[in-house]
C-alpha cells in the first residue's frame, strides 16, 4: 500500500511538473550580438532557473554581423530584442514601432581607440584622419558625435574619412585607420591582446565626451503591449532578467562561466569572458532595469543634433514605457 501510495505521489508530482512545463509561456529573445558576457544576465536567468520560477520558457537567439534585431522582431522571429537606443529610434522612425520596456545598461561602453603615433590626442585631431566605424545601426552614435564636433564625415583635410569597420580590430593593427570603434568590454582588449600596449593608445569614451547614448535596452513591438497576456509575460521576463543581471554583477566569474557553457561556437575564451564580465558590470551597475527619463532625453537630444543629417528627424513619441518595469520591480 505504501509503495502504491509513493508511486501515485511520484506520478502526481511528475504529471504536475509536466503540466507546468507544458504551461510555461514561451518567450524568444533576440540578442544584438553573439553569445558573450554582454548578455550574461539573460543566460544567468535561464541557467539559475529565474525564468522557470516565473513560468517562462525562454529561448535566447544569438545575433551576428548579418542579424539586425529590429528586422527579426518585425518579421515575427522574436518577442523581445536587445538593441541600442539610436538604432531602435531610427527603426521606429522608419516604420518598425519599437518600444523600450526596460534598460538594464545604465552607461555606454562605446569608445574610439586611437594609435598615439598618429598624433591624435584630442577630438579636434580627428580632422584629416581615417576612423573605423561600425555600421548596421551602430554608426548612429558616431555620426551624432561628429555632428556635435562639426566635423564632416566625407573626407578632406577638415573632415574625417569613415572606414566601414568589420567586427574586428584589424584596421588599427594594420594601421589602415588612426582610430577604430571599440567597446570597453570587448574590442579594446582585442587590441591589447594583439600586442599593442595601453600607453601606445589614446581612448575617447563616449560617456566622457558627453555624447553617450543608451545601449542594450529591451524592446518590443508597440501593438503587442495592447495584449494583457503579452504584457504580463514581459513583466515576468523583465523581473527574472534583472534578477539575472544583479546576480551576474555580484558573481562575475560564475556568470562568465555560464556564458561560456552557452557558447555553441566555442569561439569565446575564459580569460576574455571574465574580463568582459568585469567591464559589463560597470555598465549595468546603477540600473534596476527601469529607463531613466533623463538618460532617454540626453540620447534623443544627441541624435536630433545631427546637423543636416540627424539620426532621427523629430522627437519620438511613445518610444518607451515604464508600464512593465513599474510592475516588474515593485
What is the predicted pLDDT for the residue at 12?
A: 52
Indicate the DSSP class of residue 314: S
User: pLDDT by residue (tens digit) across 217-259?
Assistant: 999 999 999 999 999 999 999 999 999 999 999 999 999 999 9
Note the CATH number of domain 26-107+214-329: 3.40.190.10
- Span 300-327, mean pLDDT? 88
Distance of alpha carbon 140 from alpha carbon 134, whole angstroms: 9
Say which CATH architecture domain 110-209 belongs to: 3-Layer(aba) Sandwich (3.40)
User: pLDDT by residue (tens digit) across 7-47?
Assistant: 555 555 555 544 444 579 999 999 999 999 999 999 999 99
Contacts of 205 (CB under 8 A, 6+ apart): 108, 110, 111, 184, 212
Strands of 56-61's sheet in order across: 56-61, 25-30, 80-83, 217-221, 98-102
> Taking 60 as the threshold, does the pLDDT of residue 105 lie above it?
yes
Distance of alpha carbon 304 from alpha carbon 299, whole angstroms: 9
Between the two ends of the chain, the Cα-to-Cα distance in Å is: 48
pTM value is: 0.88
- DSSP sequence for 20-56: HHHHPEEEEEE-SSSSSGGGHHHHHHHHTTHHHHTTE
> Taking 90 as the threshold, does the pLDDT of residue 302 lie above it?
no
320: its cell numbers? 518607451
CB-side neighbour CA atoms (13 Å) of 242: 27
Instruction: Work out the percent of the chain whose per-residue pLDDT is above 90.
Output: 82
For CATH 3.40.190.10, the residue range(s) in the chain are 26-107+214-329, 110-209
- Span 98-122, mean pLDDT? 97
What is the predicted pLDDT for the residue at 316?
A: 96
When pLDDT is cut at 50, 70 and 90, the band that residue 135 belongs to is confident
Nearest CA to 272 out of 205, 173, 188, 179 is that of 188
- Span 87-111, mean pLDDT? 96
What is the predicted pLDDT for the residue at 303?
A: 87
Over the range 174-204, which residues count as b (16 or more CB within 10 Å of their CB) and which as e? eeebbbbbbbbbbbbbbbeeeebeeeebbeb
Distance of alpha carbon 16 from alpha carbon 12, whole angstroms: 6
User: pLDDT by residue (tens digit) across 204-225?
Assistant: 999 999 889 999 999 999 999 9
User: pLDDT by residue (tens digit) across 280-298?
Assistant: 999 999 999 999 999 999 9
> Taking 80 as the threshold, does the pLDDT of residue 273 lie above it?
yes
Amino acid at each position: 500500500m505504501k509503495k502504491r501510495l509513493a508511486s501515485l505521489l511520484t506520478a502526481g508530482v511528475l504529471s504536475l511538473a509536466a503540466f507546468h512545463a507544458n504551461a510555461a509561456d514561451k518567450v524568444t529573445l533576440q540578442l544584438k550580438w553573439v553569445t558573450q558576457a554582454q548578455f550574461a544576465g539573460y543566460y544567468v536567468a535561464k541557467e539559475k532557473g529565474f525564468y522557470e520560477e516565473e513560468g517562462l520558457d525562454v529561448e535566447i537567439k544569438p545575433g551576428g554581423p548579418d542579424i539586425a534585431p529590429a528586422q527579426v522582431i518585425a518579421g515575427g522571429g522574436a518577442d523581445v530584442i536587445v538593441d541600442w537606443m539610436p538604432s531602435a529610434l531610427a527603426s521606429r522612425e522608419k516604420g518598425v514601432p519599437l518600444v523600450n520596456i526596460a534598460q538594464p545598461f545604465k552607461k555606454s561602453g562605446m569608445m574610439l581607440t586611437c594609435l598615439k603615433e598618429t598624433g591624435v590626442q584630442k577630438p579636434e585631431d580627428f580632422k584629416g584622419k581615417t576612423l573605423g566605424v561600425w555600421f548596421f545601426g551602430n554608426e548612429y552614435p558616431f555620426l551624432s558625435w561628429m555632428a556635435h564636433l562639426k566635423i564632416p564625415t566625407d573626407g578632406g583635410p577638415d573632415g574625417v574619412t569613415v572606414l566601414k569597420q568589420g567586427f574586428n580590430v584589424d584596421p588599427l593593427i594594420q594601421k589602415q585607420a588612426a582610430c577604430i570603434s571599440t567597446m570597453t568590454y570587448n574590442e579594446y582588449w582585442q587590441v591589447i591582446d594583439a600586442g599593442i600596449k595601453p600607453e601606445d593608445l589614446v581612448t575617447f569614451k563616449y560617456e566622457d565626451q558627453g555624447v553617450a547614448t543608451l545601449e542594450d535596452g529591451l524592446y518590443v513591438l508597440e501593438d503587442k503591449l495592447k495584449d494583457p497576456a503579452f504584457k504580463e509575460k514581459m513583466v515576468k521576463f523583465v523581473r527574472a532578467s534583472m534578477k539575472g543581471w544583479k546576480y551576474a554583477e555580484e558573481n562575475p566569474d560564475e556568470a562568465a562561466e555560464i556564458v561560456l557553457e552557452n557558447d555553441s561556437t566555442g569561439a569565446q575564451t575564459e580569460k576574455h569572458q571574465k574580463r568582459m564580465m568585469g567591464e559589463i558590470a560597470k555598465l549595468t551597475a546603477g540600473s534596476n532595469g527601469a529607463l531613466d527619463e533623463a538618460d532617454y532625453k540626453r540620447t534623443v537630444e544627441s541624435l536630433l543634433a545631427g546637423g543636416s543629417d540627424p539620426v532621427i528627424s523629430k522627437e519620438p513619441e511613445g518610444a518607451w514605457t515604464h508600464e512593465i518595469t513599474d510592475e516588474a520591480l515593485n
